[in-house]
Amino acid sequence: MTIGILGGGLTGLALARFLGAGCEVLEEEAACGGLCRTVRKGPYSYDLGGHIIFSRDREILDCMNGLLGDDAVRYRRNNRIWFKGRLVKYPFENDLAALPKEDVFECLYHFLTRNYPPPANFRDWCYHRFGKGIAERYLIPYNEKIWNIPAERLGLEWVEGRIPDPPLEDVLKSAIGIETEGYTHQLHFTYPRRGGIEALVRAIEARAGAVEKGFSVRSVAGGPGDWVVSDGTRERRYERLVSTIPLPRLVEALDGVPAAVARAAGRLRHNSLICVMVAVAPARRSEMFAVYFPQRELRFHRVCFYDYFGDSCAPPGHAPLVAEITANPGDGTYEAGDGELVAHVVEGLEREGFIRGSDVRETDVARREYAYVVNDLAYGESLAAVADHCRGRGITLCGRFSEWRYLNMDACIRSALETARRLAGGEGG
């Protein structure tokens, strides 16, 4: 059986590795990896997003670390939230004692006395689960920045497992200064010794078999037993087809799509990612990997410090900071030029006391069109219409952008593994 895999990101490569012979990956870019890419600018390197290797899924975690072998280096999470000029340990509710006293009272009081009806959207959920204090100081402003949409327009399908859910005793302890840890499965993580997160992608690609790069999927026709995929000049034929490319792009390429399904695909919302790298020197090695910024006046929601990994990403004494910004066409940020975004990041980080503008040695801007799947209120209905049509045609959907779910790297690899098992057993997907 020949199996065509559309997309050579992390999911597509992992699927090819698990399937072995008899499959081919079609990747439109000159290099595989999709969102799991490492950018190099002079002596500096950084990833498209703060990718680290962790998981509750022991089988997949062992798989990822096994692929890296001795190049998998273990680190302890030391992430912070920047709140009123102070660093608060992540997650926010696990370090309430670090807040000003009036904020501690507001967060704890409203957490203990909250009495809200069952939530219908994410904004309601924040109040229902955490109370007014934590919701308004951190959860709502931060999530409105990363999702680039008002919290009341966000659905709830993505919340479970994505946002820490602390027990009462942990919140009480954190408010009086007894140290607690939230999201303990992330407390330790690994990261490649060299090559950034792309080292993991390259390790998988080396075992993935046939990969055709520079092949942009423009049309998909036929059906199970005889799929025809074309980039406009070349054709590939497969018995089975698995898509890992963004679901709206698959619908654009697929023949015979009903108008209602095309409209539903147009309603599927995603965010693009803009990474602004600012390298400074001299600098002492950072003690934190990531800092989260809920402040609305700052366009970036997170800054990653890549000198946290020693000299694997920067020369000694140099620190590349990478500000992450989500954007959509028409929001002003999406259309902003590189110079404007660099100036905003440098000015913001200098104003908040993280850098001195005179210490900036290099800057860079990298953009990725598809970064985050957005679970708005129309998400469930729209996704069902599109996914049901594609699966009904016999196309297997696999991974973050084809399943249109907010999956981390480990979940993408798990999806690839389970898809490979089903295909090997003669099942669909």
Residue percentage of the chain with pLDDT more than 90 = 94
Q: Is the distance from CB of 401 to CB of 6 less than 8 angstroms?
A: no
Question: pLDDT tens digits, residue range 86-124?
Answer: 999 999 999 999 999 999 999 999 999 999 999 999 999
Which one has a higher pLDDT value, 414 or 166?
414
Confidence category of residue 425, pLDDT binned at 50, 70, 90: confident
Q: What is the mean pLDDT of residues 43-66?
A: 96
**Residue 183 pLDDT > 90, yes or no?**
no
Architecture in CATH of 3-34+201-268+377-424: 3-Layer(bba) Sandwich (3.50)
Cα 26 to Cα 22: distance, rounded to the nearest angstrom: 14
Residue percentage of the chain with pLDDT more than 70 = 98
Which one has a higher pLDDT value, 186 or 160?
160
**Residue 243 pLDDT > 90, yes or no?**
yes
Instruction: Give CATH 3.50.50.60 domain extents, the chain.
Output: 3-34+201-268+377-424
**Residue 402 pLDDT > 60, yes or no?**
yes
Of the listed ranges 29-38, 145-154, 186-195, 297-306, the one predicted with least confidence:
186-195
pTM: 0.95
Predicted local distance difference test score (pLDDT) of residue 158? 93
Predicted local distance difference test score (pLDDT) of residue 426? 75
Confidence category of residue 428, pLDDT binned at 50, 70, 90: low
Q: Quick one: how far is CA 302 from the chain centroid?
A: 12
Q: What is the mean pLDDT of residues 126-145?
A: 97
Predicted local distance difference test score (pLDDT) of residue 165? 82
Amino acid identity, residue 128?
H
Q: What is the mean pLDDT of residues 347-363?
A: 98
Predicted local distance difference test score (pLDDT) of residue 161? 79
Confidence category of residue 182, pLDDT binned at 50, 70, 90: low
Predicted local distance difference test score (pLDDT) of residue 184? 67
Q: What is the mean pLDDT of residues 361-384?
A: 97
Predicted local distance difference test score (pLDDT) of residue 429? 57
Q: How far is CA 204 from CA 8, 9, 101, 163, in A?
A: 11, 10, 50, 29
Average pLDDT, the chain: 96
Predicted local distance difference test score (pLDDT) of residue 187? 82
Confidence category of residue 75, pLDDT binned at 50, 70, 90: very high
Q: What is the mean pLDDT of residues 128-143?
A: 97
SS3 340: helix
Q: Is the distance from CB of 53 to CB of 191 less than 8 angstroms?
A: yes
Judge residue 206's burial from the number of C-beta atoms within 10 Å of its C-beta, 0-12 exposed, 13-18 middle, 19 or more buried: exposed
Q: What is the mean pLDDT of residues 230-234?
A: 97
Predicted local distance difference test score (pLDDT) of residue 164? 80
What residues have CB less than 8 Å from 336, skipping those under 6 apart? 344
Confidence category of residue 180, pLDDT binned at 50, 70, 90: confident
Q: Could you identify the residue written with the tokens 């209120």?
A: 377
Predicted local distance difference test score (pLDDT) of residue 160? 86
Question: pLDDT tens digits, residue range 266-299?
Answer: 999 999 999 999 999 999 999 999 999 999 999 9
Buried residues in 313-342 as b, exposed as e (16+ CB within 10 A): bbeeebbbbbbbbbbeeeeebbebeeeebb
